[in-house]
Chains A and B, each alone.
Chain A
Amino acid sequence: MRDVIICRCEEVTLSQLEEIIKHHDPSARELKLRTRAGMGICGGKTCRPLLDKVLQKLTDKPPTDDIPLKVQPPVRPTSLAQLGGSGDET
């Protein structure tokens, strides 16, 4: 059977994630940093819940109350001009 892509932007597969989880028992952040899953242009829009699920299922840890991967602004793809304030102020 073909492998399953989990993070579309960075093309990270389920078996790559499984491999990292097996060898490193990582936190959500470590899993992200080691694979780039969730670091693509969409900012994890599609894969965030999938990553949470993979980690939770394979490490058998109950979900924490805090969101596993910290949510960072901007929560939508945004141009630098908008962030820099030039598109700002009334």
Chain B
Amino acid sequence: MQKHDAVIIGAGPAGLNAAIALRKHDLNVLVIDEFPHLGGRLLGQLHEEPNGEWWNGIKEAEKLVNEAKALNTEMLTNVSVHHIQRKDGAFVVHTNRKNYEAKNVLIATGAAETANPIPGWTLPGVMTIGAAQVMTNVHRVRVGEKGIVIGVNVLAAAIARELLLAGIRLHSLALPINNAVTDEQSHPKMVMERLSRIAHLAPSPLLRFGGKFAKYKWAQNIAVSFYPKKGINMWDVPIHLRKAVKEINGTEQVESVTMVDITKDGEIIPGTEEEIPVDFVCIAGGLYPLAELAAVVGVPFKYVEPLGGHVPVHNEKMETPVEGVYVAGNITGIESAKVARAQGKVAGLSIAFRMKKDAAIQKEIEKAMDEVKTTRDNATIQFHPEIARGRDDIHAQFNKYLNG
């Protein structure tokens, strides 16, 4: 069986940019993705940056794919990886097609969405906000006539805008009702606190509005206490922090939701129930690193909340403690596509260095690592205010592994 220098799992910005870096060093690379199109989560993205420029993910994906193709990169779509085994210092990558052998593997599988489970959330017509994004921007299918978004966070705001641009009507963005799972997502003060700390960056008026309360807890408290009953409009759609969806109703599919007013601590105000007719519901519960393959190949993990939960231990060179296994992109923590792309380059170069031990590559790696930092510092979309601290935590953990 042919042994590839590197098998890359995931053709998002991280995986594709890594492949480009490896091909530039003339290494033998195979990229595998289970989606029918190359580009990963880029394909759904469309946002306006604070400077008025648009970030068009489909175009960005095209650029990367074209560059990879020009370098004769072997890329497979519609192929799922279900296991990675270590074998004689190398790896066997198991897929639904066949097995591939590799001297190095890069796991660049991105992120997955969490749900906000509330009564009725399993009815047809309820989907994650990311599913609505893919249907709208990738498959060009209308998700419904009029819907509601449950969950108020960066992803919800970004994708709500995309749905509106596509001509889909939204009743509002509102919080999920409180339970053991929705927890901080259902708490007006916590939602406000998080929004206000990332506000200055975000492209949306919602988040800029939050920015006014950024510095002071008391200001956030007041903002939540006196939050207008009819919500605050963003592109003519109300954002509610003092209304929650208690239940999704319907027999065969979504017909309506039941909304209630809530106190600033997220408790239901009795007698405020209101039934709102909608034919689809988007649940925006947030993102977490999709790291299952790193787990099965034996990479250790650390829980780092600002990065989105359990992340595979790795260093700034994108190496894991398992020699030959690399990670890049959202599997290492939830950040924007630009950061993922920059991390991919580092990972590709690190693999190239392992294969060639060329001092010039070492220099390139250092430059690419700086690029990751600059990109992070200049990010216009950020999923967690403490991202930099999260990064320090996980890198420190890697050093502990090596030394202890």
List residues of chain A with CB under 8 Å of any chain B CB.
1-6, 8, 14, 18, 45-46, 49-50, 53-54, 57-58, 63-67, 70-76, 78-79, 82, 87-90
Contact = CB atoms under 8 A, between A and B. Distances in A.
A54 B1 contact: no
Given A64-B303, A87-B96, A88-B98, 9 more contacts: A2-B119, A4-B181, A49-B114, A49-B309, A53-B114, A57-B181, A66-B301, A70-B295, A75-B293
Interface in B115-162: 115, 117-122
Interface of B: 1-2, 34, 80-83, 94, 96-99, 112, 114-115, 117-122, 179-181, 183, 246-247, 288, 291-293, 295-296, 300-303, 309-310
Nearest to A45: B112
Contact of B301 (A8, A65, A76): A65
B227 to A, nearest CB: 24
Contacts of A63: 303, 309-310
B124 to A, nearest CB: 12
Nearest to B292: A75
Contact of A89 (B99, B293, B310): B99
Given A88-B99, A89-B98, A4 B1 contact: no
16 contacts: A1-B119, A4-B118, A4-B119, A4-B121, A6-B117, A6-B181, A50-B117, A72-B296, A73-B83, A73-B94, A75-B82, A75-B293, A76-B34, A89-B1, A89-B98, A89-B99
A71 B98 contact: no
Given A2-B247, A58-B180, A67-B301, A74 B2 contact: no
Contact of A50 (B96, B119, B181, B296): B181
A64 to B, nearest CB: 7
- Tell me the interface secondary structure of chain A in the complex: loop
Contacts of B122: 5, 8
Those 6 A-B pairs whose CB atoms lie nearest each other, nearest first: A74-B82, A73-B83, A71-B295, A2-B119, A75-B292, A76-B82
A65 to B, nearest CB: 5
A2 B1 CA distance: 55
Contacts of B303: 63-65
Contacts of B180: 14, 18, 53-54, 57-58
A61 B90 CA distance: 38
A18 B179 CA distance: 11
A4 B98 contact: no
Nearest to A11: B122
A45 B115 CA distance: 11
Residue in A49, A57, A64, A87 with the greatest tally of chain B CB atoms within 10 Å? A49
Contacts of A66: 301
B288 A5 contact: no
Contacts of B114: 49-50, 53
Given A58-B180, A64-B303, A87 B117 contact: no
A12 to B, nearest CB: 11
A14 B180 CA distance: 8
A3 B2 CA distance: 53
A58 B180 CA distance: 7
A78 B247 CA distance: 35
Contacts of B246: 1
Contacts of A89: 1, 98-99
A18 B117 CA distance: 15
Contact of B115 (A46, A67, A71): A46
A65 B115 CA distance: 22
